[in-house]
Amino acid sequence: MYKYLDSIHSPKDIKKYGYNEMKELASEIRSFLIESVSKTGGHLASNLGVVEITLAIYKLFDTPKDKVIFDVGHQSYVSKILTGRKEGFNLLRHENGISGFPKMSESEYDSFGTGHSSTSLSAAIGIAKANRLAGEKDYTVVVIGDGAFSGGLVYEALNNCDKDLNLIVILNENEMSISPSVGNMARIISRIRSKENYFRIKNGIQIFTEHIPLIGRPIVSGLRKTKRAMKKVLFSTSFIERFGFTYFGPIDGNDYVTVERLIHQAKKHGGSAFIHIKTKKGKGYAPAEENPSAYHMVKPEDSVKTDSTFSSKFGEYMCRLGEENNRVCAISAAMTDGTGLSSFFEKYPERSFDVGIAEGHAVTFAAGLSAGGYIPVFAVYSSFLQRSFDNYLHDVALQNLHCVFAVDRAGISPDDGSTHHGIFDVSMFSLMNNCTVYSPVSYESLESSLTESVNANSGIWAIRYPKGTQSTEGLCKKENYIFTDADYTSDGIVIITYGRMFTEALKAKKQIENSGLRCGVLVLEKLMPFAEAYVSIKKYCTDAKKIIIVEESMESGSFGQNIMSLVNCDSEFNVRCSALAIRGEVPGHANLETLYASCGISAKDITEEALK
């Protein structure tokens, strides 16, 4: 089907290719990505942009001896194709298929597992220094986007870099992370692009001068001595060079010949090198080039399209609250589109803050806004919120500042796997007793809990909700924030859960009743304070035979653990109680049903626990 791509099984297979063959191979890889990822779903635009960069790296370096690290890792599909995993793309991000991110356990070419932004440079410096300690001269290569430079970890890594490492950092500037790159560093990188004019002028002068008889070459030699001073005066490269790097670029990152030549030059130069390459996100696919945010992540071709989601409804409710109260502010960490905040940012730009990929800063920034009299609402994916643990604990919780956390993508993330599961936030919030946590199962409950949180004027509030749409089939409302599907008698079993896990609870209820036992299901939408949730549980479960608490969160610090401790200390509440949560290893990627089973929280697991 493909003239060149079908014969690629490892990076060794491209070593013999010349410029023309590599250009054709790049075109074939783009065709394959568009066709394959459109079927399975996955990150498309970012991978289309880095084809030439990845090809040049694998041609010029001796992998896997030389290490290659992709920041975030969502742009590693081309790497996977070149390292023998092309045939696995029919199951990309599916059960028994390859991961959408680098995984050390998946391939020896995946030098370091990534999934979150801004971590690659720290890891690369560690690997490079380990090589030096071992007396090895292997290279470590990093591919990092300009959006990652809004994350503070990058600067901590730069501060720890040495100029004599065999380290090559490739800055892939496409002016995008998931949303457009923001912040001062993005503007600095943009200004460095003006160096293109400098290099064109410099090369032209050099060629002209060298042809002056007798004195031409001495003049060129003298000009070279002033090159570094000229750059520091005229351009911004000194910012990078002060950290010990030799700066190369910027160049067109989608011109293969130019990319290969510059990387070869940086490798030949030796020491720590910083290569500035500008690419087009979505290159080669017009819809993705025109709207890279929309094609950052594409859904499988057979996915069901929905008119509304928890994220979109959150954005809608935020706009209403912003209109009602001019102290309401929205904060995003480079995820305005993903969290549904785009409309709020358009309507209230003066109260909208995209801080870049800097979740820790976002939380402490929110604390500052609160201390200044405003009401910050930080919308963030659950798996990204965990990066701000210390900021939450030290700057918000200890000072009991009024901050609202809209925790999107709560629960298991089937396709993205271990780095993206939202299964730690409940444990994080449970460490302090001054946080109110909601887990709405409907849009109506999302709106009411968000409204209450914003209008409370004090305290810490977290509202956690899953990716996708509401599903309330089989539930009926008994009273505020508590749902149950049916009444139950004193000899019954009660399954207590929250969030979308109620679907497994309802399946288990049917299986338990088929065994001749009565069973009811409580879906709590208010999890914390635990003492308050416990009052509700006692009210409904006083005469229950057995209580089973099930959740898609880590067991340590979980809702179930905390409730069980209250049950054990309550001499008046004589009921058998057990809890099912995720324990052991963090699960990988598969469909939700499979992951529930592997984590021991499926309907079958609940039923078996009930029948013990």
How far is 138 from 167, CA to CA, in rounded Å?
9
285 pLDDT tier (thresholds 50, 70, 90) = confident
Task: Say which DSSP state 428 is in.
Answer: H
Predicted TM-score (pTM) of the model is 0.86
For 453, the token pair is 């949180």
pLDDT at 394: 95
pLDDT over 80 (residue 81) = yes
Rg (CA), the chain: 27
d(CA 45, CA 285): 8
Q: What is the pLDDT of residue 536?
A: 87
What is the structure's pLDDT at 26? 96
Contact 175, 146 (CB under 8 A): yes
Dist CA 314 CA 518 (whole Å): 37
Of 380, 377, 371, the C-alpha closest to 351 is 377
Token pair of 579 as six digits: 């809890």
Q: Contact at 8 Å (CB) between 281 and 45?
A: yes
Cis status of the peptide bond prior to 102, with omega within 30 of 0: no
Q: Average pLDDT for residues 587-610, to the nearest whole number?
A: 95
SS3 300: coil
Confidence of residue 291 (pLDDT cuts 50, 70, 90): confident
All domains in the chain, ordered by first residue: 5-177+244-298 (3.40.50.970), 310-464 (3.40.50.970), 476-610 (3.40.50.920)
For residue 129, pLDDT over 60 is answered with yes
> What's the rounded Cα separation, in Å, for the pair 436 and 425?
13
400: left (phi over 0), alpha (psi -120 to 50) or beta: left
From CA 413, how far away is CA 382, in angstroms rounded? Answer: 10
pLDDT bracket for residue 475 (50, 70, 90): confident
Q: Categorize the per-residue pLDDT at 232 as very low, low, confident or very high, splitting at 50, 70 and 90.
A: very low
| Predicted pLDDT at 474 | 77
Inform me whether the pLDDT recorded for 140 exceeds 60.
Answer: yes
Q: Determine the average pLDDT of the residues in 216-244.
A: 59
Secondary structure element (H or E) that encloses residue 243, with its range: none
Using one digit for the tens of pLDDT, what is the confidence trace for 429-452?
Answer: 999 889 999 999 999 999 999 999
Query: Could you tell me which of 474, 501, 493 has the C-alpha nearest to residue 540?
Result: 493
Q: What is the pLDDT of residue 487?
A: 56
Average pLDDT, the chain: 88
Residue 524 contacts residue 560 (beta carbons within 8 Å): no
Q: What is the mean pLDDT of residues 101-122?
A: 95
Q: What angle do CA 44, 190, 229 make, to 5 degrees?
A: 135
Phi-psi region of 317 (alpha: psi -120 to 50; beta: other; left: phi over 0): alpha
* Token pair of 531 as six digits: 């003492």
Task: State the helix-helix crossing angle for 310-324 and 443-455, rounded to 10 degrees.
Answer: 40
Tokens at 576, concatenated: 């058998």
Pairing of strands 493-497, 546-554: parallel
Confidence of residue 584 (pLDDT cuts 50, 70, 90): confident
For residue 142, the cross-strand partners are 69, 169
Q: What is the mean pLDDT of residues 87-104?
A: 93
